[in-house]
Structure 1
């Protein structure tokens, strides 16, 4: 059955194909298959609730692999802290994690904002070859800006 979600996902698949964005295409095909085989009532709520944590876990595993393989060890860490770029990277990592934390809060408290954030992420992924971590960071930035606007 062709429904609005199937049409929307199909359009996103076409955009992913035109933009040659493999992540978007795989994500859309996965969701279409789940929807079309009738498992969406069970799988979608689970993924919506746990998907961000699962994704963050997978990203964290990928980031930690060089430590697990021995490519990065104490020597590389001690050399890195001597670099000003490493300190900038450290501060950036802390800032992004704190911003994303605010984003999780905003998405939990204001779920309607998710539509705009998801659309912005889709645009960035499809048109600019972005990476789909945007909703959390975007929500965090939105949260911070909203709080600043409330002060005035």
Structure 2
């Protein structure tokens, strides 16, 4: 019963925060659970969902290449100025951080819960943009790693 209430609460928070991704995800899980397919689908979704999501996002990012809107010329022109170079480097940095986030989310499901709570709070109260838990988890992994190094250095 708690799971149903939690998911319904997330749908409501999604509506209040105008977060379509949260609404769709929570409603989808609620429906799957309500029709009794959770035992079959949830394990696969939990084990492979992040990979499926990253694949779908990657495909969406590659659509302009597939349609011919972005070619080699546009790619080369995009990194000629300082804004393009900074954006290029930021893309590399974010992708590396997100990779660490995937590992952290897989090893500790509570990370996802905390990230979701933080994202909901930021979207609802601070007009934040829900950029996704991978980046948040990656940043968390980076900070946790730095924290561990500092604690080890202090404790000797």
Tell me, yes or no, if the aligned pair for 1:6 and 1:32 is still in contact at 8 Å.
Answer: yes
Structure 1 segment 104-123 matched on structure 2, within 5 A: 104-123=102-121
Unaligned runs of 5+ in 2: 151-156
CA separation of 1:26 and 1:144: change in aligned 2, threshold 3 A:
same
- Aligned residue in 2 for 1:19: 17
Partner of residue 36 from structure 2, selected from 38, 41, 44? 38
**For each residue in 1:85-141, what CA deviation from the matched residue of structure 2 results, as whole angstroms up to 9, or x when unmatched?**
11111111111111112122223333443331232233345553522512x222221
Q: Does the alignment pair 1:59 with 2:54?
A: no
**Inter-partner Cα distance in structure 2 for 1:122 and 1:18:** 10
Moved over 4 A (4+): none
TM-score, normalising length from structure 2?
A: 0.85
| 1:38-70: CA deviation from partner (whole Å, max 9, x where unpaired) | 001111111111111111111111111111111
Question: Does 125-134 or 32-41 show the bigger shift?
Answer: 125-134
Answer yes or no: is the 8 Å Cα contact 2:104–2:137 preserved in 1. yes
Q: Give the aligned length.
A: 149
Deviation at residue 7 of structure 1 after TM alignment:
0.5
TM-score (norm 1): 0.87
- Bigger Cα displacement from structure 2, 125-134 vs 35-44: 125-134
1:131 match: secondary structure: coil
CA RMSD of aligned residues (A): 1.8
Q: What is the deviation of 1:78? A: 2.1
- Partner of residue 149, structure 2: 151
User: Which sections of structure 1, spanning at least 5 residues, go unmatched?
Assistant: none
